[in-house]
Amino acid sequence: MCCGLILVAVGLIIFFIFYLVGGRRTKNNDAWKQAATELGLDFTPVTRMLGKYRMSGVIGKQLSCSVWAHTEQHGQSSITYMNYDVKFSPPVNLVSVSNSPHFQSKFAEVRNVLKNLEVSGDSIKATRVRGFIRKSEILVQNVKLLIQLAELIIPNEET
């Protein structure tokens, strides 16, 4: 009798944990799907318990954009990183663009939000270490900041 109650209690606890994880995954999928839709990117909902969140696609004619989350274990704790990557083609000469006051201002704004920011002649990469983002508005805001910076770098398509 006692062992039966313990087994039922353990079963209920395990069920409750899976229920909570499933609910959180559904909310995360909804937020990421909303952000991907607003940005015009592709997102495949995560179905596994430890699935990877990722959205990607092409914005305009020249910008390829990816956003993904990954978690690294550090002993008994873990750190979740949000990664952003905006690539453009063809590569450009950053020296001529990077001296512009408008570029410097936007660069400082983006670096203030995303911290780890790398700009090269063909891409902008950023990593945010504060953890997984569950709000679509923040995902959209961060990607739009990088797109605005990229648009200052790439040549204007007007002829």
Query: Is residue 44 in a domain?
Result: yes
| pLDDT, tens digit only, all 159 positions of the chain | 677 777 777 776 766 566 555 556 788 888 889 999 999 999 988 776 667 889 999 987 778 999 998 877 778 887 778 889 999 877 787 877 788 888 889 888 888 888 788 888 888 888 876 667 778 888 888 888 888 888 888 866 543
Q: What is the CATH number of the domain that holds 86?
A: 3.30.1460
Could you tell me the pTM of the whole model? Answer: 0.73
Which among 143, 16, 132 is positioned nearest to 84, based on CA atoms? 143
Query: Is residue 39 in a domain?
Result: yes
Cβ 109 vs Cβ 116: under 8 Å: no
Query: Is residue 90 in a domain?
Result: yes
Query: Is residue 105 in a domain?
Result: yes
- Tokens representing 19 are 């229920």
Range of the domain at 65: 2-153
Tell me how many domains the chain contains.
1
Query: Is residue 158 in a domain?
Result: no
Query: Is residue 159 in a domain?
Result: no
* Cis ω for the linkage preceding 90 (within 30 of 0): yes
